[in-house]
Amino acid sequence: MSLTDEQRTKLDRAQEILGYEFGQTQYLLSAITHPSATEGRAVKFSYERLEFLGDSILGALVANEAFHRFPELDEGGLTRIKVALVSGASLSEVAEKLGFADIIVFGSSETGTGRRGLHSALENVYEAVVAALYLDGGVDAAGAFVERTLIPKMSPSLAREPENPKSALQEKLQEGGITPTYKLVETQGPPHDRTFVAQVYAGDKGLAQGVGRTKKEAESQAAKSTLARLSEFFGIGLTDEQQAERAEKAAAEKAARAEEKAAKVAARAAEKAARAEEKAARAAKRKQD
């Protein structure tokens, strides 16, 4: 198999991150290759097929771990744990922390785009890597990777009925008479690999953004990020001392802006007076002549 310098470098780095040396490196190369890099070639050369297999293997591994770790939980609780762990947000977060963003082989169509589909690519590559490990080293190799990277995020708290971030944010903001709204601000990636970016607004003030595989997920992530930053946006949750400090800072900034505006008005008035004086002097001179 003839490899480019980029492929060889990223394969080596990928194996270093995984702590596993592949007997058949083609599995790993396909797992870290974005579809944009295989245009015109068979689908097996990118992560698309491996992603399909990895999704099923990952689900089984997580379900098995949850089943044995939490014998007191019913089917609903176990399902919520599994869904939370294998969600796009969870997998992309783990993949990013592992450094997967540096090992993905992108095609020329992604060059200069800021890798618009990176969020979903990270999720897909994680699943594809699970499949590649399974095909090369069996369930033990795949299981060891999942055990090391994803299972530490597993906790009984994930079994609780999830709070709807959008509802929670609306409830918080309506305490101050504010109703949040959402706007789709960007659609990233090719048609087969869409990622949506949504932003939540309070009136015309843009708050946090969220990214998801669907518009609904993007809005939910935006609401979740806003909830985490309410004190930054509105001072909610601050102590009286912090509130006073925040108000004092806002007043100082407002006074500074007013002073700056007054200075500009004064400068314009002085400039206007100078022009009038100059005009009057020219008129007096013409009269003398």
pLDDT of residue 113: 47
pLDDT of residue 258: 75
What are 9's two structure tokens?
A: 């470098």
pLDDT (tens digit, 9 = 90+) per residue, 117-138? 687 889 999 999 999 999 999 9
pLDDT of residue 83: 84
Over the chain, what is the mean pLDDT? Answer: 85
Cβ of 73: how many Cβ atoms within 10 Å?
Answer: 16
Poorest-pLDDT segment among 12-26, 106-120, 140-154, 186-200:
106-120
Q: Label residue 238 by pLDDT band (50, 70, 90).
A: very low
For residues 9-14, average pLDDT: 95
The catalytic residues are 55, 127
d(CA 159, CA 146): 19
242 pLDDT above the threshold of 50: no
pLDDT of residue 122: 92
pLDDT of residue 235: 63
pLDDT (tens digit, 9 = 90+) per residue, 170-227? 888 887 788 899 999 988 877 777 888 999 999 888 998 888 888 888 898 899 888 8
- pTM for the full predicted model: 0.59
3-state secondary structure of 187: strand
For residues 68-97, average pLDDT: 90
Torsion, CA 198, CA 199, CA 204, CA 207, rounded to 10: 180
Torsion, CA 70, CA 75, CA 77, CA 81, rounded to 10: 80
pLDDT (tens digit, 9 = 90+) per residue, 34-71? 988 887 777 778 899 999 999 999 999 999 999 999 99
